[in-house]
């Protein structure tokens, strides 16, 4: 099937979701001459931090338009797409490329819908290893607010204290606060030495496994912040999600830049997760990963069999134009950004 046909096919099949008007291929034919430079939150000045938080608050007050399950705002729409794609976007080859496009789509929305002029910042978690609870990211004034409290673990300060998540936990549709349960002991895998170990991996398969496997850097940000962030289905209900995943994306990007010729084409992995193998770590409450019958299975388009390839179509339910994995491998092309 041609890629245009494939996109049409997905657009028609994606349940009930309007897909954004396709942009002409000329939009992205232009050379990326001035890439956005994504920087660590720790290096932003107060004005830059405020601009980012204000733009996120704007997404939270912009009405949803895509008709996705349970959504009220643009911010919810991102969370919904993550919910809908849970078992194909995690523990699969597209884990890194999907989250790359997803974070970029969020960055685009901040800019196009909310007047943000900066780049998506990332959380340099290695600077806060073992001490997320004291991170400047959790500052109530110049950050995202602090830990949660009480039986619901609701955050009680910061700019997002009054936001009502409509989705989560998991597949549920259920109004609730943004919640957290910070656990510093679960953040040790964000350590610089762990990152260095991943950076030394020779192939995409080994790098991905180093980053996503239990006890790797991916789990540090999710489990360390906890509650909604600790839920693999509904975690983008916490705005910290985007800074955590930009940090992981940066690691992949830096790894690719060590040998771009080879690594911008290196893609492997299964394309549907084996959920039966997701056994929680000792002492961790299991999360129900079973998709309710009324939510359609996510589609896999572009791969032959259960193998992730560069032709795999990363469909976004209309958040941004669907892209193949091949189109997002090099961040200095279609996506046009780089990291400090
Ligand atoms: Cu995810």
Residue 196 domain-assigned (yes or no): yes
Residue 34 domain-assigned (yes or no): no
209 CA from centroid of ligand 1 (Å): 15
Residue 41 domain-assigned (yes or no): no
- Domain count of the chain? 1
Rounded to an integer, the average pLDDT of 273-279 is 77
Residue 135 domain-assigned (yes or no): yes
Rounded to an integer, the average pLDDT of 250-267 is 98
338 CA from centroid of ligand 1 (Å): 21
99 CA from centroid of ligand 1 (Å): 6
82 CA from centroid of ligand 1 (Å): 6
222 CA from centroid of ligand 1 (Å): 9
26 CA from centroid of ligand 1 (Å): 30
- Helices 192-199 + 240-257 axis angle, to 10: 40
Residue 283 domain-assigned (yes or no): no
pLDDT of residue 170: 94
30 CA from centroid of ligand 1 (Å): 30
Q: Mean pLDDT, the chain, as a whole number?
A: 90
With cut-offs at 50, 70 and 90, classify the pLDDT of residue 40.
very high
- pLDDT more than 70, % of the chain: 89
329 pLDDT higher than 60: yes
| CATH code, domain with 311 | 1.10.1280.10
pLDDT of residue 2: 45
Rounded to an integer, the average pLDDT of 310-334 is 96
6 CA from centroid of ligand 1 (Å): 24
Residue 160 domain-assigned (yes or no): yes
Residue 33 domain-assigned (yes or no): no
Residue 216 domain-assigned (yes or no): yes
**What is the span of the domain harbouring residue 254?**
3-21+46-275+289-339
With cut-offs at 50, 70 and 90, classify the pLDDT of residue 282.
low
Which residue pairs, CB below 8 angstroms and at least 24 apart, start in 63-69? 65/18, 66/17, 66/18, 66/317, 66/318, 66/319, 67/16, 67/17, 67/18, 68/16, 68/17, 68/317, 69/16, 69/167, 69/173, 69/295
Least confident piece of the model among 58-67, 242-251, 259-268, 284-293: 284-293
246 CA from centroid of ligand 1 (Å): 11
195 CA from centroid of ligand 1 (Å): 19
């Amino acid at each position: 099937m041609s890629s245009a046909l494939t996109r049409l096919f997905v657009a028609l099949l994606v349940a009930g979701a309007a897909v954004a008007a396709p942009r002409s291929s000329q939009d992205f034919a232009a050379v990326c001459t001035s890439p956005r430079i994504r920087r660590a939150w720790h290096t932003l000045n107060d004005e830059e931090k405020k601009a980012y938080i204000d733009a996120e608050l704007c997404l939270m007050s912009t009405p949803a338009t895509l008709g996705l399950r349970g959504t009220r705002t643009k911010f919810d729409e991102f969370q919904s797409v993550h919910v809908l794609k849970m078992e194909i976007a995690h523990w699969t080859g597209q884990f890194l490329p999907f989250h790359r496009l997803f974070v970029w789509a969020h960055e685009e929305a901040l800019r196009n819908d909310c007047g943000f002029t900066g780049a998506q910042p990332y959380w340099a978690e290695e600077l806060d290893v073992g001490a997320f609870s004291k991170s400047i990211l959790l500052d109530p004034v110049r950050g995202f607010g602090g830990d949660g409290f009480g039986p619901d673990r609701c955050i009680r300060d910061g700019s997002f204290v009054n936001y009502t998540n409509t989705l989560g936990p998991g597949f549920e549709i259920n109004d609730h606060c943004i919640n957290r349960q910070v656990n510093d002991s679960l953040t040790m895998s964000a350590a610089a030495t762990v990152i260095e170990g991943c950076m030394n991996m020779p192939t995409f398969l080994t790098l991905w496994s180093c980053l996503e496997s239990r006890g790797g850097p991916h789990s540090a940000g999710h489990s360390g912040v906890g509650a909604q962030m600790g839920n693999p289905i509904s975690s983008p209900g916490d705005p910290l999600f985007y800074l955590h995943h930009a940090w992981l994306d940066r690691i992949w990007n830096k790894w690719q830049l060590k040998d771009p010729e080879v690594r911008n084409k290196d893609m492997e992995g299964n394309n549907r997760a084996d959920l039966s193998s997701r056994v929680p770590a000792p002492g961790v409450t299991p999360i129900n990963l079973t998709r309710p019958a009324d939510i359609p299975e996510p589609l896999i388009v572009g791969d032959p069999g259960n193998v992730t390839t560069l032709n795999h179509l990363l469909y976004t339910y209309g958040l941004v134009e669907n892209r193949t994995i091949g189109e997002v491998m090099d961040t200095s092309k279609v996506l046009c950004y780089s990291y400090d």
